[in-house]
Structure 1
């Protein structure tokens, strides 16, 4: 049984609140006492009821907020409406609001699963004096205990014994257990205070609580199970309170939040079935738990977010988007959004833009310095927006070293097939618009041969007679010297074509975490 004393008022606005519930079919006025002639001619209006209470209360002008409004409720349907009304009468008498002539209104509400009543009366007694209100909330709990015959101290002792059976590893977790049982708990000066009904019921040393600490809960399977439960019921709940109620009723799980009611910063899961307390962050982040959007709305938000990223940075890559989406526990792969174990295809124009940007990123790893080099690479990697590719202001050392090595090959008269020698070095030759380029895909190098002063005529194959002559030439005192051309490894043009199967690795659509494209 709970009696919640609600805020006072000068104009008895609680009448309007309850009458509005009546008009919506969610409540009804079950008792009206000592209102004189109000209501004798039919159903009284809100104005008539509030007008009478204001006039009655004006007998004591020193009371600024004479409204006394209390909600009395029981657990579920353990009491009938009639039984709860009898309880309300005894409650009003014990609290000093039942003297002859005291006006009151009692409304029965049926918009929740708990039978509950709302009582409205005045803090002014029939003789004009102010009804005693000191320590009102504490007296209210004492009155409830007296009416129900509850031994408060025994109940606290029993609840404390029950709490000791739980696995908890911090004061915050112990507090969560007691809060789930209806208590307020706080610590001060190395002592723990347990409060109920507006009164401190028990004070114990903090050290006594710390002696009960056990190692943190480690059952990963249960955490995974709880995560699934929380997400499932979050998606069918309209808010935090509804979610708490569903989990309590169906699974014996209490969610105890910390921080402001409308903006909690964390929560604990009190798993009564397993007598354990788990830090909610280990199961599901607070912001995720309280995200009551539908799965469709969440995917729409993610897609809108990706669209904004592409608008702000038309060259953003899949890897960069991956880093942005990590906090939302989402990622994209092969044009599909993956989130929370579900998938949705990305809009085609976004998927195409991201794939193009991945290829642009790869092109820029070659450090093209001229528009001709850029255009060649765009053609190779099938990028239709060369204007998005940045030209490099300076060559990396790897490019300089490669040019030096190519000069050695081109200047070596003993090299019969320059193309084969280049192939051995990882280069293939691509001719475009009358110019020849050496491209190394593994080391991300593109070299304009003519621009680097290399004789492109050496790329042409030599006559077979000249090959035989060089192969059997002599020197050094008549000794025969065999100079074999750098071997084509038996691959020939077929191997060369394989080098041009750009993207053959199939790695562009993988999750790009920044490790796939190494310089």
Structure 2
């Protein structure tokens, strides 16, 4: 689900635009609220609606562009006319326009069902309704309505942490980092940071209590030891460092380790091998996250690190099956995760890998691959972030090759791309249409 604030005007041409849709049977007026005497009129013309909005807005002579025009869109036909209308009504309330006159028009002439909302930026007291951080608040309000709010994600992450057994603070933090959170100690709290903002806190005392109650599950440790012993003789077990790719096929900073054995265990047993090392050198240790039994083991509790380097056998390589996470993700999820990749990780590559995001070069323009096609990042990122991404993106096998992390540490802004009909209506190529007093029925 996505929300976009469209252009403001002084003439309330959003009413005419949406009226034309209803007259062409491409749209339907689904809600008309707070229009006074017009509420009880069986048939209302667009000029009457516009004149009412203009009269309402003339309480303020300072603000020139008084129209509030927005669009809420879903993926395909995922939500019906009535569902989108109810969502839009709740969204209007959250954005501060619920007591103003507003209309909602459903559009069905594109691949994605969507609704338009037209109202006034002036309230009943003649004051301008705040538009501070409007684009960001627009999507945040949708996230809250759809229960996709980041603070809820942080709450769920804290709940997930409570399910695991671990013996050190670093192991607990590893679980949260795997969920995409950047962590920061503040006083006696651990801050959970995602999408550029603090989304929640976990008391350090709670983590300390988990550590104190830890007891090694020897039976499970022995089971895992047998699994590692068996499959380290089949798949390539030696961990090799992964590096940030740089221009000219050079390698940048190390961003972790991988092994074919590790890929196999994660795919088949839900067991993650996290190796710890510095500067791409041979790891000095590792942790084992048993997601099936909710336990984090020190590697030394299960299987000696040196065995990964000494084990002989078939040395097969392993390519994990394509999981849901590796398939192209939907548009809104991709946009939110891209902001997280830019803001919440020490390198951009780490963030992209964590969220399974793919960015490729299209004629010099970075594009994000989604289930709905390749999306230019200029339609997602604000100018400063887009400029930084362009500078860091080089034409070499379509990969992101450099980073400029400082420029990405900004508050994320969701700049949603228009649907085709809205782009034509609000872009430079828009053709002027007649302003006849067509009737609106509801």
Q: What is the TM-score with the length of structure 2 in the denominator?
A: 0.40
The higher radius of gyration belongs to 1
TM value normalised by structure 1: 0.35
Q: Choose between structure 1 and 2 for higher RCO, CA contacts under 8 A separated by at least 6 residues.
A: 2
